[in-house]
């Protein structure tokens, strides 16, 4: 029973990290309509910045710099590339982001090389015990910070002019523009927010029990795509729900791998999120909390 509880807590805390990334996908998608395939590389970039900077300026300042850096990269991608697409539609924008991803990831891979960089997080590899259930401290901190981050997001979107403006722009861009909301500003804010969330997620995705900062992190950030799709493409609360479900699924599948190996083979934990995603797309194409796309004739 304690093993099961441990897997569940593990899955939920991992799911919260995934939901940070998934929320980044959702915010960029609602504010600019772009499927941001470079998000995984931005997550890696955040972790890389922390790994490189923490020996000189300490962990927390490094995290702040990484958040600013990732936000800046996002804003730059939007301002320099996405806005200047010769043929503006969701498909070409997605392919453009694949190109950006190739460039970013290749450069980061070249810089990291075969090394696994350490993060220098103050919690190191310590473990917190609740009775007979133990959980990595990093995961507990992640869960706490994620809750804070989503509370801040909720406040932004429901209580501030900027957040309400962003929601209006997402709901109906041209009308919002006529009401005096500057779409370029809401778009830039969206990309910056996604970058900040990516940096935070990057830190927790690479700290214990993960070995450290390595190029494969960009791929594990891809596991947030099923979480995003599951929650609904345009919903931040959906990203949280999706992240939790995906985190739980992959933790349980990995935790009980020896029992499942006869049925689904080894290493199914990495694949399970995508199976869930395809099933969800089949029965509920707009996700659990997403809004249905209306087609007007």
Q: Which residues bind another protein (CB under 8 A)?
A: 35, 81, 84-88, 90-92, 94-96, 98-103, 106-107, 109-111, 113-114, 219, 222, 225-226, 229, 233, 264-268, 270-271, 274-275, 277-278, 281-282, 285, 295, 297
Minimum CB separation of residue 149 from another protein in Å reads: 24
Q: End-to-end CA distance of the chain, in Å?
A: 55
Between CA 101 and CA 120, with CA 22 as vertex, the angle to 5 degrees is 75
The distance of Cα 87 from the centroid of its chain, to the nearest Å, equals 27
C-beta closer to another protein: residue 58 or 284: 284
Minimum CB separation of residue 142 from another protein in Å reads: 24
C-beta closer to another protein: residue 17 or 100: 100
C-beta closer to another protein: residue 64 or 81: 81
C-beta closer to another protein: residue 101 or 143: 101
Minimum CB separation of residue 172 from another protein in Å reads: 20
C-beta closer to another protein: residue 145 or 223: 223
Minimum CB separation of residue 161 from another protein in Å reads: 31
Minimum CB separation of residue 164 from another protein in Å reads: 27
CA 152 to CA 29: how far, in whole Å?
19
Of 46, 37, 164, which Cα lies nearest the Cα of 99? 37
Minimum CB separation of residue 60 from another protein in Å reads: 29
Residue 107, by phi and psi: left (phi above 0), alpha (psi -120 to 50) or beta? Answer: alpha
C-beta closer to another protein: residue 58 or 265: 265
CA 25 to CA 68: how far, in whole Å?
18
Strands 127-130 and 133-136: antiparallel
Minimum CB separation of residue 2 from another protein in Å reads: 30
C-beta closer to another protein: residue 38 or 67: 38
C-beta closer to another protein: residue 57 or 219: 219
Do 17 and 33 form a contact (C-beta atoms < 8 A)? no
Minimum CB separation of residue 147 from another protein in Å reads: 27
* Backbone phi, psi, residue 136, to 5°: -60, 135
Q: Which residue has the tokens 């594990």?
A: 220
Do 221 and 205 form a contact (C-beta atoms < 8 A)? yes
Of 20, 54, 34, which Cα lies nearest the Cα of 194? 20
Q: What is the CA radius of gyration of the chain?
A: 19
Of 39, 36, 34, 38, which Cα lies nearest the Cα of 90? 34
């Amino acid at each position: 029973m304690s093993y099961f509880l441990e897997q569940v807590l593990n899955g939920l805390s991992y799911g919260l990290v995934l939901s940070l990334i998934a929320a980044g996908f959702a915010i960029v998608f609602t504010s600019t309509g772009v499927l941001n395939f470079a998000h995984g590389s931005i997550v890696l970039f955040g972790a890389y910045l922390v790994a490189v900077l923490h020996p000189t300026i300490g962990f927390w300042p490094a995290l702040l710099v990484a958040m600013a850096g990732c936000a800046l990269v996002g804003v730059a991608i939007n301002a320099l590339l996405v806005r200047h697409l010769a043929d503006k539609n969701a498909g070409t924008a997605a392919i453009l982001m694949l190109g950006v991803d190739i460039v970013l990831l290749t450069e980061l891979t070249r810089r990291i090389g075969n090394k696994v960089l350490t993060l220098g997080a103050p919690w190191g590899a310590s473990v917190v015990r609740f009775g007979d259930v133990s959980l990595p401290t990093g995961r507990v901190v992640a869960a706490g910070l994620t809750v804070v981050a989503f509370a801040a997001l909720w406040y932004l979107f429901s209580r501030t002019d900027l957040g309400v403006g962003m929601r209006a722009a997402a709901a109906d861009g041209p009308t919002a523009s006529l009401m005096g909301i500057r779409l370029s500003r809401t778009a830039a804010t969206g990309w910056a927010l996604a970058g900040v969330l990516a940096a935070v997620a990057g830190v927790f995705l690479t700290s214990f029990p993960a070995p450290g900062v390595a190029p494969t992190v960009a791929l594990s950030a891809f596991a947030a795509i099923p979480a995003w799709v599951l929650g609904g493409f345009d919903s931040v609360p959906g990203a949280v729900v999706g992240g939790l479900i995906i985190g739980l699924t992959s933790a349980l599948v990995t935790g009980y791998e020896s029992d499942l190996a006869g049925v689904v083979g080894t290493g199914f934990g990495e694949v399970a999120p995508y199976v869930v995603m395809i099933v969800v797309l089949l029965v509920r194409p707009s996700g659990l909390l997403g809004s249905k796309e209306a087609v007007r004739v």
